[in-house]
Amino acid sequence: MKGQTQAVTAVMITGIMVGTISAVYVWGTPLLEKREGQSQVNQIENDVLGLKNEIDSVSNAGQNSGSEINLRLDDGEVFVNEAENYIEVTVFAGSSRYPEGAWRLLEGNNLQGLSFASGDYGIRGQESPGIVAVNSQGGQSGRITYRIEYRNLLDERFSEPTVQLTDIQAIGADRSSGQTTISIVNQGTEIDENGFELNTGEQVDRTRTVLEVDLQ
């Protein structure tokens, strides 16, 4: 009888242990994966904001200045869109802490003159030259898209208004997957005489600070 009791006790203890381990696996694994996903999102966001700061620094430093920054992408892509003047970083994080379905600004102010908003330009003193925005598609993949974009800015401080732009131009391939080094070089300024039309129909000069971007 004593032996039977010990056997039953051993079976019960084993059952409790198996149940506990199963519960930890079932509930703990998703929690761990979620935390890892959030950590990855934080890392990518910091890298993208760092890239924006480097672009601003090179743009302000004058011709022939340059910089490099590494994007730590385990599963993602970098895309340079010259036509709409932005650099886009897409990752698949499995989870997202951003609202889904709409662009939101992480840096910069106002949407005027951006590719995903209205208008062809912003106003100096009201809108920032460049922004960082994020769009989360959610779903099982947790697709998140970050965008560094620079817009045309109308400068009305002088008798003859002008437009200014930080002009992003790709050198070589405009896409790169996985770990990517981005090289930025300031090629100086170019002036498009009467090359920009305002919403009034007036033609004004546009001064572009040309930045060459190389994805490696």
Match 């045309």 to its residue by tokens.
152
Residues 141-159 as b/e (b if ≥16 CB within 10 A, e otherwise) read ebbbbbbbbbbbbbeeeee
28 pLDDT tier (thresholds 50, 70, 90): very low
Is residue 34 scored above 80 in pLDDT? Answer: no
The SS3 call for residue 129 is coil
The SS3 call for residue 59 is helix
Q: Which residue in 89, 82, 47 sits closest to 169, CA to CA?
A: 82
The pLDDT value given to residue 131: 98
Q: How far is Cα 191 from Cα 178, in angstroms, rounded to an integer? A: 36
Angle subtended at Cα 54 by Cα 49 and Cα 58, rounded to the nearest 5 degrees: 150
The pLDDT value given to residue 20: 53
Is residue 74 scored above 90 in pLDDT? Answer: no
Distances (CA, A) of 64 to 59, 60, 102, 167, 171: 10, 11, 37, 15, 15
> What pTM, to 2 d.p., does this model score?
0.83
Q: What is the mean pLDDT of residues 118-126?
A: 96
The pLDDT value given to residue 137: 86
Could you tell me if 53 and 89 are in contact, meaning their C-beta atoms sit under 8 angstroms apart? no
The pLDDT value given to residue 7: 57
142 pLDDT tier (thresholds 50, 70, 90): confident
The pLDDT value given to residue 140: 66
Is residue 6 scored above 70 in pLDDT? Answer: no
> Tens of pLDDT along 179-199?
999 999 999 999 999 999 999
Is residue 18 scored above 90 in pLDDT? Answer: no
pLDDT, averaged across the chain: 87
Q: What percent of the chain lies above the pLDDT cut of 90?
A: 71
The pLDDT value given to residue 12: 64
Q: How far is Cα 20 from Cα 124, in angstroms, rounded to an integer? A: 62
The pLDDT value given to residue 71: 93
Is residue 9 scored above 80 in pLDDT? Answer: no
> Tens of pLDDT along 151-177?
999 999 999 999 999 999 999 999 999
The pLDDT value given to residue 44: 93
Provide the 10 A C-beta neighbour count for residue 100.
Answer: 12
Q: What is the mean pLDDT of residues 12-18?
A: 64
